[in-house]
């Protein structure tokens, strides 16, 4: 099987100039020339009627762009946007949807309960740690008081 793919190689400055020239020709042929034609047609109608203002080259190109977009938007169909009502669900489909909603709601309740239980557990652990530290501080304070009293008793006895 022959390979029908042709590769265009851009070699050096000549290749870049070729690429720029090809792009300029495509722009002139598909954008600028139709814009020039539409500008000329619009200005002819403008001079004959005197009701509409004349336009320049940029406005002609924009008019051409509007025409192209409108063509692609409305080709084949009457409108770009379709309005369609949704089909009604049968009784079994509605029950299936409602059951799915109930299951999701139940899992949400379970997840919230688990989160709340974890928060309460963390709070209880924190309170327990705080109470342990206060007990340790109190026991140290009691030991200090005992030491002071023992030294006073020892001084008194000696």
The pLDDT value given to residue 93:
82
The verdict on 156 and 95 lying in the same domain is: yes
- 96 and 58 in a single domain? The answer is no
**Among the three residues 74, 104, 125, which one is the final residue of a domain in this structure?**
74
Pick from 45, 74, 103: which residue ends a domain?
74
- Nearest 10 degrees: CA dihedral of 9, 14, 16, 18? -80
* Whole-number pLDDT of residue 10: 79
Are both 69 and 94 inside the same structural domain? Answer: no
* pLDDT given for residue 45 in this prediction: 94
| C-alpha–C-alpha distance, residues 75 and 64, integer Å | 16
CA separation, residue 56 to residues 32, 44, 63, 143 (Å): 12, 12, 11, 99
Lowest mean pLDDT among 8-22, 41-55, 100-114: 100-114
Q: Say yes or no: 107 and 47 in one domain.
A: no
Cα–Cα distance measured from residue 20 to residue 26, given in angstroms and rounded to the nearest whole number: 10
Structural domain that includes position 36: 12-74
Per-residue pLDDT band at 142 (split at 50, 70, 90):
confident
- Does 20 score more than 80 pLDDT? yes
98 in the same domain as 60? no
Question: Residues 150, 98: one domain?
Answer: yes
Domain contains 4 = no
Q: Is 83 helix (H, G, I), strand (E, B) or coil?
A: coil
Q: Which residue has the higher pLDDT, 150 or 34?
A: 34
Q: pLDDT digits over 47-72, tens only?
A: 999 889 999 999 999 999 999 998 88
SS3 state of residue 52 = coil
Rounded to the nearest integer, the mean pLDDT of the chain is: 81
**Is 35 among the domain residues?**
yes
Tell whether 158 and 97 lie within a shared domain: yes
Same domain, 66 and 94: no
Are 65 and 95 members of one domain? Answer: no
The answer on 96 and 60 residing in a single domain is: no
H or E element at residue 3: none
For the chain, how many structural domains are there in total? 2
More confident site: 145 or 92: 92
Which residues have a Cβ under 8 Å from the Cβ of 15 and sit 6 or more positions away?
A: 9
**φ and ψ at residue 86, rounded to 5 degrees:** -75, 145
Q: Is residue 38 one of the residues assigned to a domain? A: yes
pLDDT at residue 81, rounded to an integer: 58
């Amino acid at each position: 099987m022959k390979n029908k793919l042709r590769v265009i190689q851009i070699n050096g400055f000549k290749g870049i100039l070729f690429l720029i020239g090809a792009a300029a020709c495509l722009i002139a042929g598909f954008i600028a020339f139709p814009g020039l034609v539409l500008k000329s047609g619009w200005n002819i109608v403008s001079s004959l009627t005197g009701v509409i203002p004349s336009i320049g080259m940029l406005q002609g190109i924009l008019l051409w762009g509007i025409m192209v977009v409108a063509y692609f938007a409305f080709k084949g169909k009457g409108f770009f946007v379709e309005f369609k009502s949704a089909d009604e669900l049968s009784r079994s489909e509605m029950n299936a949807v409602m059951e799915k909603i109930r299951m999701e709601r139940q899992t949400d309740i379970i997840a919230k309960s688990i989160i709340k239980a974890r928060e309460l557990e963390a709070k209880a652990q924190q309170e327990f740690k705080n109470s342990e530290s206060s007990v340790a501080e109190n026991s140290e304070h009691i030991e200090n008081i005992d030491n002071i009293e023992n030294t006073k008793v020892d001084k008194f006895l000696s």
